[in-house]
Structure 1
Amino acid sequence: MLSWFFIGSGIMKLLSHRHFIQHVIHLRIVPPNALGKLSVMLLIGIELLLGILLNARILVFYVLFSLLLLMIGLTVLVVILIKKGKSSEDCGCYGRFYKEKLNASKVISNLIWISLILIAFFLPRDNSSFFANFLALLFMITRFAILRLNQFFTSFSLFKERL
């Protein structure tokens, strides 16, 4: 399940790579030159490659360690962007297919993914599949519930403001 998350988000970014590159440049994460665009495409490729390698169970230890570093780095980046006042921006994590704000909910989501990577990192390789899939499914259900509650409270506060 972990591998499919990275494969899926990588594919969504790849399918909308022009949009994703422009979004990352807009957030001022990379410079708007060829090197900046190349680094964004490289990030998409690394995310896809790591997801595919994990799914194929190739170099699992190194792949999980790389995913852990990637997620920690991206989480730090999200926190920095929130501190810079970009919390109303879309994170661009899924290309143009799914919009998600840069806020505490995104940080919590990333921390849960980091936890799942750590759990998979320390589980024995023969039992990790069922347990990791169960935890990932539980996380996705929880994540969906958090998003819906967040939308509900946002719309409720907008309703209160109109009164």
Structure 2
Amino acid sequence: MGLKAQKYKAQKYKQKGTEIQAEMYKITSRKAQKYKQKGTEIQAEGHRNTSRKVQNYQQKGTEIQAKGHRNTSKKANKYKQKGTEIQAKRYKITSRKVQKYKQKGTEIQAEKHRNTSRKAHKYKQKSTEMQAKRHKIIGRKAQKYKQKGTEIQVERHRNTSKKTHENRQKAQK
């Protein structure tokens, strides 16, 4: 659940049903990071802070990498995940952020988010939870996450380079 940092509002990540919803939050002195989910898609739009830098989200292999995040201070975020869920490695982030990602059942809950600027997230998935194949997108990405049972399937990604990727999971039969 979101906690208010001193000057910045917290980001809340909630998953309802089989979707991951990222709600938009305004940071008082900086521009807000807007995460919008429509249907079964997670769209991460580029947002400039008044300080600097734009988050770039790239997905390679089974990892979702968010690169290029420099902020005005220094801090490291540790994302720990147990079981077959989502593993997130250490990131050096320039502001004060403490983000704990917990997964219960087939839901991903993200609690305690204190952000003063940007974060770098690397999501790795193992086993039958979330599978995401390579998505090369020239300008934008359309990532469709579908969850069946305890699985999140990424199917049919069309992007500006006119490439389509399909990932089908055969665990629920």
* TM-score normalised by the chain length of structure 1: 0.29
Q: Which protein is richer in helix relative to its size?
A: 1
